[in-house]
Structure 1
Amino acid sequence: MKKDGLNVKRKLFEKYYDFSIRSGNELYLPLSMAMNFVNDCTRLGLVVVELEFFHIEGDKITPVVEPLTGLDCSNVFEEQWDWSHVVQQCNSVAMLVLENEAKRDDTQYVNFTILSRDEAQKWKTTGV
């Protein structure tokens, strides 16, 4: 039975909802939870396409500007399309970035862009 990618994503976000800070439609996870989130994405076959780092104080959300603002793995879709390899490659890089950032500044929050296989196929085909 084929998994509904949007339903899988919704359940994943629900799992982390109580640990997050929300602003509009955005969900920000503390760096301490971000690695668990990426592991869950990998287990569920979801790819971390982008992640961005922020500092949050009160209701002020400020992007981290140095030394690393985030990660963008969208170029991997242009290079190949073996889905399991895309998930493994992007999510492994995301984990390395998160581990390094945790050593540098563990007070950061992370905002993720994740895609299911169907969403990624649509994105690759249409650019949307």
Structure 2
Amino acid sequence: MWLAIGGVNIWALIEWTDSLRQVALSPANSCNLDSPTNIGIVCYVSLLIGETIIVLLTVWKGIHTFWLSGSICRHTQLVTTFYRDGIMFYLAIFVLLVMDVGLELQAPEGLKFIADLYVP
């Protein structure tokens, strides 16, 4: 799974770097680059799909483990914390990733890469 996601990300990064151009009104020797395409979103989506699969497998294993034992009390606090915190971490990252993709898709052309802009 990770090899497939890595392959998709390498392809998307090659396509993205081929489409880079200088930001309008920036000095000729600056590093302010912009891309007219949204191919970078492919990296976000592929990583989100990979992490979603891992979380679904973790949830499935957690439910299966707790179901077989018949009680949450029979497990150590470490195992319970592992499942709980892993799922909470995924939800936090999921919200941030969805917000990032949404802002990237909805930003006007001149503001798409404002976080990357460096003005000395």
Specify which structure has the higher proportion of helix.
2
Fold similarity call, TM over 0.5: no
Who wins on radius of gyration, i.e. which is larger?
2
TM-score, scaled relative to structure 1: 0.36
Higher relative contact order (CA 8 A, sep 6+): 1
Specify which structure has the higher proportion of strand.
1
TM-score, scaled relative to structure 2: 0.38
